[in-house]
């Protein structure tokens, strides 16, 4: 199984400041067939289902604010919130869709400093 | 508008069984691959399994912790996805979500149904 790790576990950021979350996979999730990384980011708020933010490591889902961006390739990925807003307080998960089981990272909790 | 509505959760004793349903609307369910994912208290998201559409063979894959106890199925005539859970353990206590499975992502999610395994 591909093991996903995230850092940090928790992150306190001032409003308007940048938040950076790292995700690492134990195996490359780069598809050689299309040269795309099968890495997805979700946001989950308490009592709500996960919300898709980013797929193919860097493609923003329709309707997601452009302050959210994804980057990275192979085994190392980053989710960046360029200017943290109050509504961004949530847990953020990465997930690999490269191979079954489609494992999630343990999550990073983002809150306001 | 795509809607996924889970039902069937509740309190069950260890060793018991429960069947969850996920009723879909707003899209062609028979064309969709579907996932089950759970969120246990104090833990992170866990992928449970996926079922492909029947036109792609209806293949089902499971995560190891549930492989011999849970069964995913679908009834395209009812636009419904199922999760049959047997031999339930305390560790299976969680909110269970169904979601659509597109290429490398899950775009649409239900609100979830809570399963509590306790004596």
Residue B86 exposed, middle or buried by CB count within 10 Å (0-12, 13-18, 19+):
middle
Distance between CA B109 and CA B99 in Å, rounded?
A: 4
Q: What pairs with residue A3 in β-bridges?
A: none
Residues of B in contact with A49 (CB under 8 A): 97, 99, 109-112
Using the Cβ of A76 and the Cβ atoms of chain B, whether some distance falls under 8 Å is answered with no
As a whole number of angstroms, the distance between CA A19 and CA A60 comes to 17
Report the distance separating Cα A15 and Cα B30, nearest Å.
44
Q: Could you tell me if A69 lies within 8 Å of chain B, comparing CB atoms?
A: no
> Do A97 and A40 meet the contact criterion of CB atoms below 8 Å apart?
yes
pLDDT at B87 over 90: yes
Residues of A in contact with B44 (CB under 8 A): 91, 93, 104-107
Dist. CA A63–CA A93, nearest whole Å: 19
Interface contact A101-B97, CB threshold 8 A: no
pLDDT tens digits, B32-71: 999 999 999 999 999 999 999 999 999 999 999 999 999 9
Q: How far is B46 from chain A (nearest CA, A)?
A: 6
The predicted structure's pLDDT at residue A90: 98
- Tens-digit pLDDT profile for residues A40-67: 999 999 999 999 999 999 999 999 999 9
Could you read off the pLDDT of A11-46 as tens digits, one per residue? 999 999 999 999 999 999 999 899 999 999 999 999
- pLDDT, tens digit, for every residue of B6-31? 999 999 999 999 999 999 999 999 99
Q: How confident is the model at residue B103 (pLDDT cuts 50, 70, 90)?
A: confident
Q: Which of A101, A105, A106 to mutate to test the interface with B (most CBs of B within 10 A)?
A: A101
Kindly report the nearest CA distance between residue A78 and chain B, in angstroms: 17
Please report the pLDDT score of residue A76 as a whole number: 98
């Amino acid at each position: 199984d591909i093991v996903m790790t995230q850092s940090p576990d928790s992150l306190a950021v001032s409003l308007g400041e940048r938040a950076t979350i790292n995700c690492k996979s134990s195996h490359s999730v780069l598809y050689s067939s299309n040269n795309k990384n099968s890495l997805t980011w979700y946001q989950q708020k308490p009592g709500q289902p996960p919300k898709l933010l980013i797929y193919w490591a860097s493609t923003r889902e329709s309707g997601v604010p452009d302050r959210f961006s994804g980057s990275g390739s192979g085994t190392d990925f980053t989710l960046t919130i360029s200017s943290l807003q109050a509504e961004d307080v949530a847990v953020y998960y990465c997930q690999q869709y490269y191979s079954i089981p489609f494992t999630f990272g343990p999550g990073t909790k983002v809150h306001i400093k | 508008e795509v809607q996924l509505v889970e039902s069937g959760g509740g309190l069950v004793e260890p060793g018991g069984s429960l069947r969850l349903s996920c009723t879909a609307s707003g899209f062609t369910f028979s064309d969709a691959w579907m996932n089950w994912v759970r969120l246990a208290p104090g833990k992170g998201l866990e992928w449970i399994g996926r079922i492909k559409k029947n036109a792609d063979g209806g293949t089902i894959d499971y995560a190891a912790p549930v492989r011999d106890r849970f069964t995913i199925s679908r009834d395209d005539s009812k636009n419904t996805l199922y999760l049959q859970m047997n031999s339930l353990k305390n560790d299976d206590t969680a909110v269970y979500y169904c979601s659509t499975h597109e290429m490398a992502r899950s775009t649409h999610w239900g609100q979830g149904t809570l399963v509590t395994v306790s004596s």
